[in-house]
Chain A
């Protein structure tokens, strides 16, 4: 069985440290009004950006589980 250093630690680091950058970006574009939530298109992109973060997180989690248990 591969060690924690080979499985979940990279995953936690990727979405933890990467998440800090991602959510800082999300907060920053709202604060700086780069994204205007009154616009329909912008609201759509806001949801897409959140979706993308969890989409990649899910793919990586499934692949780790598949490697370990399937």
Chain B
């Protein structure tokens, strides 16, 4: 480890500090565009697809990052790229199921969807899972950042005569402070715009390492021939070894990870929520998966591949004791000149920061919308339909960001026990995503899925998952596809298959038994001792869940007890929750997207596709939310009074930063002129004299 300290030169440090300060200032500049929590969290639902796509690259690439993929590339070759090339299977579900529902239902968080679709109690359980997922992700981000920067630091520094040892945890605390401060004041708009720059820088840095590295080892031909055949294969060995095998990673990343990333990663969902329309969101998703992810696979793994080729040279410059997680930094240091190495590391650190920023922002969004808001309503300090005090909500969001930064640092502790970040992340994904993934998936695509089904999926599913973690040899091994079980970290990846299956089976069975549960619940309600029966079932369920958590009793007993507990929880949920499947599925399932659009608009849809018109604006001295275009322009747009319209500054390179949504008002006769209100000018950040374009939405 000693040799992996104090890398880089003074020039590198200067470059790094200048880069990070520039990014901070750039992000802070955009904080002025946050007027309310919608801007702070979602960027005001106004941006073009390319800005969203670039921003997703910075988040996706950095979260899956140089450190962990270079580590696996160094150990196993080109198959490190497989996680970047297996995200297409769920794109139909996402583009024509989840994405339109997220946008048209106007939800501000995933838990809010669960309240609308099921019940407040379903929202409560999902909020807990969602926050655990996000905080865990932040922990992984901090750990990765620490591992990327640690090799650059000296073993200790002398501050005012005090010798301070630089440890991984100490470094992570400093990083967390900077990241938390930046997100607290910047919000989503700052994140989006810094991501745009960072997305480019990241791709540039990764490609530079790969291209300069190939030149270093003697050109493409030499590079290709240095690598053994096994390392050139794009997919790993089917089921060996335990720390990197195809089938485990397929279920952990390709299935649980892909659905998790597309359906429940609030950071990503918020990116799509900031898109100006569903179609722009689709463009961003497709562009990202088809083009950016394959490029990103090279960008993030390149350091490891070059490192492996270097290690095959007769005078290998790679230190013998290099740990996989440090390979990217080691390779970059060897092949880059002073200053360029600093740039590469700065863009890596900045990109990781951007991932963590997004997640912190998502955490505070979930907190404000799903914890702070409902608690206020519950304590009767506010009516459900009252307007939110925006200033107060923004302050709460900022305080929450600080709190989640601290929790993120604490989450680093369990993950640091894994040999590589890749395995820590793999275990995290296969454990935390299945219950929520199944709950969302069945909620969106299965109209019959009930609140009892969701709650049973979460509690019963988690109970069976905990048992799987305690008894992997009994419960997970039947699904292991021949992958060996590592006794220290058993079934890190293939565990995802077992976890997903048990959650799915619980959700489906409970929903299919719904009629029986309703009938039993009604009989209990009619009985004189209904309170006693329900309280007894709650106590029994809590006892069984505690026994599962603390592993009291054998696997057979606990497994049967978990099933029994799941049935009781389903019955309790059915007893308490009033659920009208007609109201609760309207506009909230994939089968009712047309209705979702009608609810979004508030009237009948006008889906004739018209032209986009370019117009000059004139101010109307009021604050009403409608615009006035000429009859001629409205005809060109096939627009009618009351239709929704998107108006933006005509300069396309702004990506929708200066824009607003409104409705068509009464037409006038001044062709090429749009009348807008003072509120539109303020929210759209419009500049006098600049032409606008108007586009009918629906």
* In the bound complex, CA of A23 to CA of B590 (Å): 16
Docked-complex contact A33 and B591, CB < 8 angstroms: yes
Q: Which A21-36 residues have a C-beta within 8 angstroms of B?
A: 21-22, 25-26, 28-29, 32-36
Per-position contact with B for A32-46: 1 when CB-CB < 8 Å, else 0? 111110011110010
Contact between chains at B100 and A60 (CB < 8 Å): no
Given the known inter-chain contacts A29-B590, A32-B445, please indicate yes or no for A64 contacting B92, CB distance below 8 A.
no
Contact A28 B590 (CB under 8 A): yes
Contact at B239–A5, with CB atoms within 8 Å? yes
Contact B250 A13 (CB under 8 A): yes
B91–A52 contact, CB under 8 A?
Answer: yes
Cβ-neighbour of A60 out of B85, B289, B590 (below 8 A): B85
Cβ 8 A contact of B89, one of A2, A13, A22:
A22
The answer to whether A53 and B237 touch across the interface, beta carbons within 8 angstroms, is no
Q: Which of B86, B229, B232, B594 contacts A33 (CB 8 A)?
A: B594
Task: Known contacts A45-B95, A49-B95; decide if A14 and B235 are in contact (CB<8 Å).
Answer: yes
B162 to chain A, nearest CB (A): 54
The answer to whether A21 touches B255 (Cβ under 8 A) is yes
Task: Give min CB distance, A13 to chain B, whole Å.
Answer: 7
B78 in contact with A34 (CB, 8 Å)? no
Contacts of A52 in B (CB 8 A): 88, 91, 286, 289-290
Do B609 and A22 have beta carbons less than 8 Å apart?
no
- Complex: how many Å from CA A65 to CA B93? 31
Q: Size band of the A side of the interface? A: 35 or more
User: Within 8 Å of chain A (Cβ to Cβ): is B230?
Assistant: yes
| A70 CB contacts on chain B under 8 angstroms | 224
A53 to B86, CA, bound (A): 10
Cβ–Cβ contact A40 & B91, under 8 A: no
Q: Specify the main secondary structure of chain B where it touches its partner.
A: helix
Which residue numbers of A lie inside 8 Å of B, CB to CB? 1-2, 5-7, 9-11, 13-14, 17-19, 21-22, 25-26, 28-29, 32-36, 39-42, 45, 48-49, 52-53, 55-56, 59-60, 63-64, 66-68, 70
A29, closest chain B residue (CB): B96
Q: Tell me the minimal C-beta distance from B216 to chain A in angstroms.
A: 22
16 A-B interface contacts by CB (under 8 A): A1-B229, A5-B240, A13-B246, A13-B250, A18-B89, A21-B89, A22-B89, A33-B594, A34-B96, A35-B92, A40-B609, A49-B95, A56-B86, A60-B234, A60-B235, A67-B232
**In the assembled complex, which residues on chain B have CB atoms less than 8 Å from the CB atom of A9?**
238
Q: Is the CB of B237 within 8 A of A17?
A: no
**Beta-carbon contact of A34 and B290 below 8 Å:** no
Shortest beta-carbon distance from B287 to chain A in Å: 10
In this complex, what residue of A is CB-closest to B278? A41
When distances are taken between beta carbons in the complex, the residues of chain A under 8 Å from B100 are 34
Known: A6-B230, A18-B254, A39-B607. A48 touches B286 (CB 8 A): yes
What per-residue 1/0 map shows which CB atoms of B601-613 lie under 8 Å from chain A? 0000001010000
Contacts of B89 on A, CB cut-off 8 Å? 18-19, 21-22, 25, 53
Q: Is B236 an interface residue, CB under 8 A from the partner? A: yes
Q: Does B576 make an interface contact (CB < 8 A)?
A: no
Smallest CB separation, B72 vs chain A (Å): 15
A55 to B255, CA, bound (A): 19
Main secondary structure of the interface of A (DSSP, over half): helix
Q: How many angstroms between the C-alpha atoms of A39 and B96 in the bound complex?
A: 13
B88 and A2 contacting across the interface, CB-CB below 8 Å: no
A5-B238 contact given A33-B594, A34-B590, CB 8 Å threshold = yes
Most buried by A among B91, B234, B591: B234
Check B234 against A2 for contact (C-beta < 8 Å).
Answer: no
- Contact: A59 with B85, CB < 8 Å? yes
Q: Which of A42, A45, A64 contacts B235 (CB 8 A)?
A: A64
Which A residues touch B290, using CB under 8 A? Answer: 52, 55
Q: List B235-259 residues whose CB lies under 8 Å from chain A.
A: 235-240, 246-247, 250, 254-255
Report whether B593 and A33 are in contact in the complex, using a CB–CB cutoff of 8 Å.
yes
The residues of A that contact B232 with a CB separation of less than 8 Å are: 63, 66-67
CA distance A67 to B78 in the complex (A): 10
Residue in B86, B91, B589, B594 whose Cβ sees the most chain A Cβ within 10 Å: B91
Residues of A within 8 A of B607 (CB): 39
Bound Cα distance from A26 to B234, whole angstroms: 26
Please indicate the chain A residues that have their CB under 8 angstroms from the CB of B95 in the complex: 45, 49
Excluding A25-B92, A42-B96, A55-B290, 6 further A-B contacts by CB distance (< 8 Å) are: A5-B240, A18-B88, A25-B97, A36-B594, A40-B609, A59-B234
B90 at the interface (CB under 8 A from A): yes
| Cα separation A56 to B91 with both chains bound (whole Å) | 13
Measured in the bound complex, the distance between the Cα atoms of B240 and A41 in whole Å is: 44
Contacts A13-B247, A48-B286, A52-B289 given: A63-B234 contact, CB under 8 Å? yes
Whether A45 and B594, one on each chain, are in contact in the complex, defined by CB atoms closer than 8 angstroms, is no
The docked-state distance in angstroms from the alpha carbon of A2 to that of B232 is 11
Return chain A residues, CB-CB under 8 Å to B90.
21-22, 25
Q: What residues of chain B lie closer than 8 Å to A42, measured between beta carbons? A: 96
The verdict on B294 contacting chain A, using a C-beta distance below 8 Å, is yes
Q: What residues on A are CB-neighbors of B289 within 8 Å?
A: 52
Inter-chain contacts of A45 with B (CB < 8 A): 95-96, 282, 286
- Bound: A6/B228 CA distance, A: 13
B407 at the interface (CB under 8 A from A): no
A13–B339 Cα distance when bound, in Å, is 45
Pick the residue among B97, B247, B282 that contacts A29 (CB under 8 A): B97
Contact call A10/B236, Cβ cutoff below 8 A:
yes
